Amino acid sequence: MKQTIKDVPIRGKRVLIRVDFNVPLDKTNGAITDDTRIRESVPTIHYAVNRGAIVILMSHLGRPDGKRVPSMSLRPVASRLGELLKRPVKFIEDCVGPSVETTLGTLQSGQVALLENLRFYAEEEKNDPAFAAKLARLGEIYVNDAFGTAHRAHASTEGVARLLPAVAGFLMEKEMKYLGSTLANPAKPYVAILGGAKVSDKIGVITKLLEQVDKLLIGGGMSYTFLKAQGKAVGTSRVEADKLDLAKELIAKAASRKVKLLLPVDHLITTSLDPDTPVKIAKAGEIPDGWMGADIGPDTVELFTAELKGAKTVVWNGPVGVFEQERFREGSRRIAQTLASLKATTIIGGGDSAACVQQLGLADRMSHISTGGGASLEFLEGKTLPGIAVLKEKTSGKPARANAR
């Protein structure tokens, strides 16, 4: 267990909090189109403010590749955060340097500031020690509440944590609880649903889950590689030809471990993802040439939802269809609705599956929706995330042994 912000004295201290404000912006007017990550940061910020800390927030936004890109400024985020906190948030137009230090020196206890985009400096992603030291000079205590970047050893997630007392925020604590301790000893039956485009993105997760789950339901684009490996016709559906042997191995592993692995038995198919192209239903193995699968079919919906009934723990990572288009959203919608009705721990593994649940208005009926896509996958694989490993342990108050200097 890691120490959290509750385990350190913060009154009157400059608390440097790494948040994940990498939010989507409208390309035409720069408006924030989804403020979920901002809202998820509020409990930790409120806690620090209410206990008299000077709160200094830092984040990245997009991929400016070490250049100052005006469209990737965090200024709009400062404005939205101020609305959510119901207090001013001072926006700092840089993130390191003497002028930043001087401005922050004027802040009083209970005030909040947001630094400009960390990735305007290439040194951030390189985990440059000198850049980390400049960030560390801004605070006295470091809090990581950015689970979505915890799998990256960057200056703001790993480097600075070696230079200041480093603890977790409440969002990070919640992610560790649900993706870590809850899934380490899950209530049974334990069911996993995997979707998304590629098998290669989820090899590690599938391998790990096959050691833990009772059932594994596979949909989305990745299912066609498994179906092709079984010798079934998939038309022009996306197939990773170099992963066919791996798919066969995973199917065999599921059988040997007595894990029930289910693939789609029918599909919604189309000739392309362009609007207004024809859509029809095809049985598994009967997708004609020139057609591609874009969602699970009605029989698969009934099969998958029936297999979810009675589950006590469910993890879902990746939509089972091209949910961005309404005509291919039904499979993911029905799965989300089924999860919302279960008396079970339901964990949505970030990325597109989180966006899907949010769009369907079912977020508040899930036990936990992870804010990290890649971080969630790596955590589910059992990998050590550098942004978590470096935080102080609750028992000893020291950094994790693997990251001790």
Would you call 202 helix, strand, or coil by DSSP? helix
Superfamily of domain 5-175+384-403, CATH level 4: Phosphoglycerate kinase, N-terminal domain (3.40.50.1260)
Region for residue 26 given its phi and psi (left: phi exceeds 0; alpha: psi -120 to 50; beta: otherwise): beta
If pLDDT is split at 50, 70 and 90, which confidence band does 344 have? Answer: very high
Catalytic residue among 51, 87, 126, 198: 198
If pLDDT is split at 50, 70 and 90, which confidence band does 396 have? Answer: low
| Token duo for residue 98 | 């003497």
Catalytic residue among 219, 321, 351, 387: 351
Catalytic residue among 14, 37, 119, 152: 37
**Pure H helices in 223-329:** 223-229, 244-256, 298-308
Residue 334 known to be catalytic: no
Total residues belonging to the chain:
405
Residue 80 known to be catalytic: no
Return the amino acid letter for 291: W
In sign, the C-alpha dihedral spanning 179, 184, 186, 192 is positive
Residue 75 known to be catalytic: no
Give pLDDT, residue 118.
98
DSSP string over 161-179: GGTS-EEE-HHHHHHHIII
**Mean of pLDDT over the chain:** 94
Residue 134 known to be catalytic: no
Whether 133 has a pLDDT exceeding 50, the answer reads yes
Catalytic residue among 82, 204, 285, 374: 374
pTM above 0.85, yes or no: yes
Region for residue 37 given its phi and psi (left: phi exceeds 0; alpha: psi -120 to 50; beta: otherwise): alpha
pLDDT in tens, 72-102: 999 999 999 999 999 999 999 999 999 999 9
Superfamily of domain 188-343, CATH level 4: Phosphoglycerate kinase, N-terminal domain (3.40.50.1260)
More confident residue, 310 or 198: 310
Whether 402 has a pLDDT exceeding 50, the answer reads no
pLDDT in tens, 361-370: 999 999 999 9
Asked if 89 and 114 count as a contact pair (C-beta separation under 8 A), the reply is yes
Give pLDDT, residue 184.
87
pLDDT in tens, 254-280: 999 999 999 999 999 999 999 899 999
Instruction: Give span(s): CATH 3.40.50.1260, the chain.
Output: 5-175+384-403, 188-343
| Token duo for residue 404 | 């001790």
